[in-house]
Amino acid sequence: MADDIYDLVIIGGGPAGYVGAIRAGQLGKKVAVIEMERAGGTCLNWGCIPTKALLKSAELYRTIQKADSYGLSVTGASFDFAKVVERSRGVAATMAKGVEFLFKKNKVDYFVGKGSVAVPGMVEITEGEHKGKFLRTKNILLCTGQKPRPLPGLPVDGTRVMTSREALAAKVAPKTMAIIGAGAIGVEFAYFFNAFGTKVTLIEMLPNILPIEDEEISKVLERSFAKQGIAVHTGTKSENIRVGAKSVKLDLVKDGAKIELEVDTVLVAIGITSALDGLTSAKVKLELDRGFVKVDNNYQTSTPGIYAAGDIQGPPWLAHVASFRAVQAVEGMFGVTKPKQVGIFPGCTYCQPQVASTGLTEKQAKEKKLDYKVGKFPFTAVGKAVAAGDTEGFVKVIADAKTGEIYGVHIIGNEATELIAEYGLAMNLEATVDEIHHSIHAHPTLSEALGEAALATMGQAIHI
């Protein structure tokens, strides 16, 4: 017998699950969320939020080190790595409490444990203090997200071999570290550990770090990392990894040449995989696509009444995209609106310099054989950036050569992740570069570079 009857039971309390639950609560629905660890899921507890807290500490420490350039004298600056990590854990805990408060505010029942779909319309809590409890429900939303993808044959021990999760709980910065994979996670941890004295080697199989970003942006970041002391190896495979008691040895192979690297720790950041273990009983079969749960335009799976949203669906694996998908799924299942699919969205990487983008890269524009033009504007020509001492990077706009329709925007530099929002809104509203530069940007601000880059597509930038 089921203990409770719900309009919606959500398995997973991350950016998809908790946001979907709150939206359903706002609609007056009876909702339950089952989360294995703590409200907020991986993003809030072991991903987005704590990593940004770590990166802020790294950025501040780096700023202190160059205090002389601001006319300031700072002596004896040092750090306590354990306290840096402790602060990030505290930030995550604060945010989790905030989500728990929102659950109460919106009358969402919250269970800590592992949920499994026993049969359509019935969810069992299979682990945790509520083990054995069944929830009967009209709708089920799967939001279990993802987990780090391990390297075959390389077990994670938290000391010699880490994923991002173990790195977030490290009490001591290793003297040397190899990071395998230079996507957003690998790049952010490379910046963080390097800032606190770790000799970092960043290894990427593909030709560029941040492989999904515009190639020009990736090259600039690679040069910046080299200046910061990070050894970057692109187009390079990691082979023959040997874990010893005191170090890890691995071979770096590029163009047939091989060099041996020995480090204290290896951080594996090669990607993610859907968290599907135990999500359904043998009686429930969900259709998968390349290991991700397949959904229709209403976010419904192959089993009626069971929906899925967030990273479990597949890329793009971004918290803000997961939240968008969950809201669309909830509003669709309850007849509020016709669900929308992900269209224009920002991608952000929070190292220094920051990287942010939306829309097509220049390579993609070429592959589509679009008639496009490019406008670039450097932060060296922006008064606010010069005054702040953060002139690295530029804004790059890709637009239709005739109409000025914006195809893509790519930013590298200070506060890039904040600046990208303007172009996201512009593209959603189908604005043109003409309308961007006709929007008056306050002076002095970094956002002036956005307007100037739009002007640059027509060769009319004023300050270069």
Provide the annotated active-site residues. 443
Burial, 265: exposed, middle or buried (Cβ in 10 Å; 0-12, 13-18, 19+)? buried
Coil vs helix vs strand at 107: coil
Instruction: Return the residue matching tokens 């990392």.
Output: 225
**Pairwise CA distance, residues 254 & 237, whole Å:** 7
**Pairwise CA distance, residues 131 & 124, whole Å:** 8
If one counts every other C-beta atom within 10 angstroms of the C-beta of residue 103, the result is 22
**Pairwise CA distance, residues 14 & 41, whole Å:** 4
**Pairwise CA distance, residues 357 & 435, whole Å:** 19
Ramachandran assignment for 40, one of left (phi > 0), alpha (psi -120 to 50 degrees), beta (any other): left
CA-closest candidate to residue 408, choices 460, 355, 452, 360: 360
CA-closest candidate to residue 191, choices 83, 87, 58: 58
Please state whether beta strands 237-243 and 248-254 pair in parallel, antiparallel, or not at all (unpaired): antiparallel
Side-chain-side CA neighbours of residue 273 (13 Å): 10
**Pairwise CA distance, residues 27 & 37, whole Å:** 26
